[in-house]
């Protein structure tokens, strides 16, 4: 990683005024967004070469922005996207994880961090997902309050496990839950919009629209349809 000494010597910039095409190795330091509260947007080309990433959800400021966006489920590697980020304070430690084809690393204390705050696929539109993808598998389950549009494919068989009614556990298959809620049918698929929620004390199952969801007790992450 880049040394803390180098990091503290770089001049702060509070805002990137316009989107920049980002080499997939680009990070907040190389982009010049190193001031407290800095925000910006980069355009990540499809199928870029992954850069190094430390953390999960909150990343060290020298982590690749585009790669972090794939890691946390904001964009798909083969689609790229316009990625929004915000600098946040440094943490005492960063936990790595393997998500969405990207493995991030652990790290100790670091002086500055960033989070991805939004993303749109290149050329507009919404992210395509598989029928069985969940908020957990897409890496977005911890983004409480975010509203995300996703495209479910046509799938004559449907399928996927679902827990809850109207509010679903984060590991429930989004497309199956959308069919349960009545937003789409498996034969045609369609675009759905989810709102990421937090912990719920319980989830009541039901049968709707040919989809059976199950009961479950307390679960720390959830979503509903917007």
pTM for the structure as a whole: 0.58
Q: Given pLDDT bands bounded at 50, 70 and 90, which one contains residue 214? A: very high
For range 118-123, the mean pLDDT: 76
What would the 3-class secondary structure string for the chain be? CCCHHHHHHCCCCCECCCCEEECCCCCHHHHCCCCCCCEEEEEECCCCCCCCCEEECEEECCCCHHHHHHHCCCCCCCCCEEEEEEEEECCCCECCCEECCEECECECCCCEEEEEEEEECCCCCCEECCCCCEHHHHCCCCCCCCEEEEEECCCCCCCCCCEEECEEECCCEHHHHHHHHCCCCCCCCEEEEEEEECCECCECCCEECCEECECECCECCEEEEC
Domains 4-120 and 127-225 share a fold: yes
What are the structural domain ranges in the chain?
4-120, 127-225
CATH architecture, domain defined by 127-225: Beta Complex (2.170)
Give the model's pLDDT for residue 2. 40
pLDDT in tens, 157-211: 778 999 999 999 999 999 999 999 999 999 888 899 999 999 999 999 999 999 9
Each residue's pLDDT tens digit, 20-70: 556 898 999 998 876 778 888 898 999 999 999 999 989 999 999 999 999
- The CATH fold of domain 4-120: Ferric Hydroxamate Uptake Protein; Chain A, domain 1 (2.170.130)
């Amino acid at each position: 990683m880049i040394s803390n000494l180098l990091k503290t010597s770089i001049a702060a910039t509070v805002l990137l005024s316009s989107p920049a095409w980002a080499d997939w190795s680009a990070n907040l330091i190389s982009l010049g967004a190193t001031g407290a509260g800095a925000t910006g947007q980069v355009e990540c080309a499809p199928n870029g070469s992954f850069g190094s990433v430390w953390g999960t959800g909150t990343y060290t400021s020298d982590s690749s922005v585009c790669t972090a966006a794939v890691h946390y489920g904001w964009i798909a590697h083969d689609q790229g996207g316009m990625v929004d980020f915000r600098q946040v304070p440094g943490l005492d430690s960063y936990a790595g994880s393997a998500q969405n084809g990207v493995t991030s690393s652990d790290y100790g204390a670091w002086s500055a961090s960033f989070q991805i705050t939004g993303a749109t696929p290149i050329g507009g539109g919404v992210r395509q997902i598989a029928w069985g993808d969940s908020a957990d598998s897409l890496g977005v389950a911890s983004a409480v309050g975010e509203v995300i549009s996703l495209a479910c494919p046509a799938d004559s068989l449907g399928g996927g496990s679902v827990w809850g009614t109207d509010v679903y556990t984060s590991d429930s298959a989004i497309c199956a839950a959308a069919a349960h809620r009545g937003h789409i049918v498996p034969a045609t698929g369609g675009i759905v919009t989810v709102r990421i929620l937090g912990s719920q004390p319980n989830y009541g199952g039901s049968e709707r629209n040919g989809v059976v969801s199950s009961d479950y007790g307390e679960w720390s992450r959830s979503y509903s349809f917007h």
